[in-house]
Amino acid sequence: MIELKHFRLLRAIARHGTMSGAARELGYTQPAVTQQIQSLERSMRTPLVTRNRTGFRLTDAGELLLRHGATVLATVSLAQAEVEAIAGLRAGRVRIACFPSAAAMLLPRALGAMTVEHPGVSFTLAETEPPEALEMLRRGECDIAIVYLYVTAGSDCPSALTLEPEEIRTQLLEESVHVAMPRGHPAAAKRWVDLRELREERWIAGCPGCRGNLLEACAASGFTPDIAFETDDYVALQGLAAAGLGVALVPDLMRAAARHEPGLALRRLHPMSVRVVSAVSTAALMGVPGVAQTVAALRESAAAVDLADVPS
């Protein structure tokens, strides 16, 4: 079997014309060089090196092998250089799957900081909800999945993430969930709104795969919400609520990412509900410096988000 060391050996013999010169270049003893050449010739079943009056030269078969070896060695050298560049954060690409409001509020600061510190690292973004983001991670289509889970007080079956054993979750932030309604709504006069007061209301919700928290929170309060509008656009959702077409649950990142509708009231919810936002990757991917540094940058970005300043 031909190995990289054989290509290097033939190159050294062609360069020096002696076994001793090749041995010095490669850090071998001369007998070791001779043994390796003899072993390779047996494997190839043809002479690769021949002696002349001044030393050694490659045979036609040896020259042919060396020409192919030059391409192989150049490719390996390039691969090593590129891997070292990625390991040293001088190059590489980090693929992120993220839900919209986190993409708006967390990614710009995090990726901006990474670009300044490591300009050779590039990023791609797939905007998607947590279940799809996790599936992308498991199919090898992204390196970091930014996801969330809801925790609702009094719920018997709080939303949860089911992770594979090799997956690592890094919590980024915990945000409050508010109920959005028009400012003229009777409940808007209160600081906290009991969800049971809204049992007769029409609701605005996201897609069927994104409304688990709403269904669980309402179930904990003893009713099933009447969902009149469905939209995954958080700007449209707040506009519909401000227009009095329904009420909706709005986490902090969503209200921070969207423009604040003048006619919209956002009130704390009872029973209290929070949304925990996390970055999920795998143990193997977290060993890649670009991925680990990006997760660290996301944590710093999340810590810098001032959700208390969002108008309500």
- Residue range 91-105, pLDDT digits in tens: 889 999 999 999 999
Torsions phi, psi for 64 (to 5 deg): -60, -45
Q: What is the mean pLDDT of residues 159-177?
A: 88
Residue 30 is predicted with a pLDDT of 93
Among 120-129, 130-139, 199-208, 266-275, the least confident range: 266-275
Residue 159 is predicted with a pLDDT of 56
| DSSP bridge pairs for 150 | 275
* DSSP-H helix ranges across the chain: 4-16, 19-26, 30-44, 60-87, 100-105, 107-117, 130-138, 212-220, 234-242, 252-257, 283-286, 289-304
Residue 283 is predicted with a pLDDT of 92
Pairing assessment for the beta strands 202-205 and 226-230 based on DSSP bridges: parallel
Q: What is the C-alpha separation between 144 and 301, in angstroms, rounded? A: 15
Q: What is the mean pLDDT of residues 126-137?
A: 93
Task: Assess whether pLDDT exceeds 70 at residue 141.
Answer: yes
Q: What is the C-alpha separation between 8 and 265, in angstroms, rounded? A: 73
Residue 156 is predicted with a pLDDT of 54
CB atoms under 10 Å from CB of 267, counted, come to 19
Are 4-87 and 93-309 equal in CATH topology? no
The overall average pLDDT reported for the chain is: 90
Task: Assess whether pLDDT exceeds 60 at residue 87.
Answer: yes
- Domain chopping of the chain, boundaries: 4-87, 93-309
Residue 91 is predicted with a pLDDT of 84
Q: Which residues touch 28 (CB under 8 Å, ≥6 apart)?
A: 22, 36
Residue 174 is predicted with a pLDDT of 93
Pick the CATH number of 93-309 from 3.30.70.100, 3.40.190.290, 2.60.40.2130, 3.30.420.40: 3.40.190.290
Interval 192-232: pLDDT, tens: 999 999 999 999 998 776 787 888 888 888 999 999 999 98
Q: Between 19 and 86, whose confidence is greater? A: 19
DSSP element (H, E) containing 95: strand 93-98
- Percent of all residues in the chain with a pLDDT value above 90, rounded to a whole number: 71
Q: What is the mean pLDDT of residues 3-11?
A: 94
Interval 25-41: pLDDT, tens: 999 999 999 999 999 99
Q: What is the C-alpha separation between 180 and 166, in angstroms, rounded? A: 38
Q: What is the mean pLDDT of residues 271-288?
A: 91
Task: Assess whether pLDDT exceeds 60 at residue 16.
Answer: yes
* CATH no., domain 4-87: 1.10.10.10
14-18, 83-87, 306-310: range with highest mean pLDDT: 14-18
Q: What is the mean pLDDT of residues 124-144?
A: 93
Interval 265-275: pLDDT, tens: 999 888 788 89
The pTM for the full model equals: 0.77
Q: What is the C-alpha separation between 16 and 23, in angstroms, rounded? A: 10
Q: What is the C-alpha separation between 7 and 22, in angstroms, rounded? A: 12
Q: What is the C-alpha separation between 290 and 90, in angstroms, rounded? A: 9
Q: What is the C-alpha separation between 26 and 10, in angstroms, rounded? A: 11
pLDDT band (50, 70, 90) for residue 309: low
Task: Assess whether pLDDT exceeds 80 at residue 261.
Answer: no
